Amino acid sequence: MQAKFLARCAIFSALMCVCAWISIPAGNLIFTLQSFAFLLALFVLGGQGAVVSVAVYLLLGVVGLPVFSGFRGGFGILLGITGGYLWGFLPASLLYWGITAIFGEKSKICAAIAASLSVYICGAAWFCVYASGGLIPVLLQGVLPYLLPDAVKFILAFSLSGRLKKVLSA
């Protein structure tokens, strides 16, 4: 792999760390900018770069560095109630990579939507392991409140990605 590619991946791993620390509490919910950084990595780096960035980000957290929300780290976070949303970034970036590899750059918005849905599926499925009461409470607590903020992050990430690609390619 090229040094420039790895440096870009490292930048986006660091961006995911910093964005995980930026949180906005809203009652019982906490919104972070982590999914924004993930989407930006998809749009700027593409699937392969996003896979590398996410893998590095998760490995940093697994070894105990405080890269997850609330300045937390350790393997236990990935096994906790919201862990599925974190490790869900990896299959989601693989899905994005696969879709864009098959259908080309013109599919990146659809691929990013599929990747976002994949994160929700991984997170909600993992959340179900912990929640009593079934799928409906999980969807009401772990998915529905995040749809609108994540849509805004999606639009913002897509809007910034073109300019950021130009800056990084210079």
pTM of the model: 0.94
Half-sphere exposure of residue 107: CA atoms within 13 angstroms, side-chain side: 14
Q: Is 130 buried (19+), middle (13-18) or exposed (0-12) by CB count in 10 A?
A: middle
CB-CB contact of 127 with 82 (8 Å): yes
| Per-residue pLDDT tens digits for 99-114 | 999 999 899 999 999 9
Please say if the pLDDT value at position 28 is more than 80: no
| Per-residue pLDDT tens digits for 37-89 | 999 999 999 999 999 999 999 999 999 999 999 999 999 999 998 899 999 99
CATH of the structural domain 3-169, one choice from 3.90.550.10, 1.10.1760.20, 1.10.150.80, 1.20.990.10: 1.10.1760.20
| Per-residue pLDDT tens digits for 121-156 | 999 999 988 877 688 888 988 899 999 999 999 999
Q: The tokens of 57 are what?
A: 């980000």
Please say if the pLDDT value at position 1 is more than 70: no
